[in-house]
Amino acid sequence: MAWYVFALLDAPPLRRAGKGLSGPIAVREMAACYVAAERRADVPPVELGALKKHHVVVARLWKHVPAILPVRFGTLLDSTEIADALDGKDEELAEAFDLVRGRAQFSWRAPRRDRRRTSATIIQRPDTMSGTEYLCRAARAITPPPRFSSIRRRLAPFISAERYEPSRSALPETLYHLVERKSIDAYLSAASQIPSSSSVVPTLSGPFPPYAFVPELLG
Three-class HEC string of 137-198? HHHHHCCCCHHHHHHHHHHHHHEEEEEEECCECCECCEEEEEEEHHHHHHHHHHHHCCCCCC
Query: Per-residue confidence of the chain (219 residues) as pLDDT tens digits?
Result: 899 999 999 999 988 888 999 899 999 999 899 999 999 998 888 776 889 999 999 999 999 999 999 999 999 999 999 999 999 999 999 999 999 999 999 999 987 655 444 333 333 444 555 555 655 555 554 688 888 998 999 999 999 999 999 887 777 899 999 999 999 999 999 999 988 765 567 899 999 999 999 998 886
Residues 25 and 53 in one domain: yes
**Can you give the residue range of the structural domain that contains 149?**
103-213
Residues 17 and 67 in one domain: yes
- Amino acid occupying residue 136: C
Residues 49 and 129 in one domain: no
Residues 109 and 68 in one domain: no
Percent of the chain scoring above 90 in pLDDT: 62
Residues 116 and 31 in one domain: no
Compute how many other C-beta atoms are within 10 angstroms of the C-beta atom of residue 30. 15
Residues 66 and 156 in one domain: no
**Of 29, 57, 87, which residue sits at a domain end?**
87
Pairing verdict, β 174-180 and 68-70:
unpaired
Q: Given this model, what pLDDT does residue 121 score?
A: 34
Q: Given this model, what pLDDT does residue 128 score?
A: 52
Q: Given this model, what pLDDT does residue 10 score?
A: 95
Task: Specify if 142 maps to a domain.
Answer: yes
Q: What's the domain count of the chain?
A: 2
Residues 118 and 172 in one domain: yes
Q: Given this model, what pLDDT does residue 218 score?
A: 84
Rounded distance between C-alpha atoms, residue 69 and residue 101, angstroms: 9
Task: Specify if 98 maps to a domain.
Answer: no
Residues 164 and 209 in one domain: yes
Count of CA atoms in the C-beta half-sphere (13 A) of 179: 25
Q: Given this model, what pLDDT does residue 186 score?
A: 97
Segment 17-59, tens digit of pLDDT? 889 998 999 999 998 999 999 999 988 887 768 899 999 999 9
Q: Given this model, what pLDDT does residue 49 score?
A: 85
Residues 60 and 20 in one domain: yes
Residues 72 and 141 in one domain: no
Rounded distance between C-alpha atoms, residue 74 and residue 193, angstroms: 39
Q: What distances in angstroms separate CA 135 from CA 95, 141, 153, 180, one per listed residue?
A: 12, 10, 22, 19
Q: What is the pTM of this model?
A: 0.81
Residues 108 and 79 in one domain: no
Q: Given this model, what pLDDT does residue 156 score?
A: 96
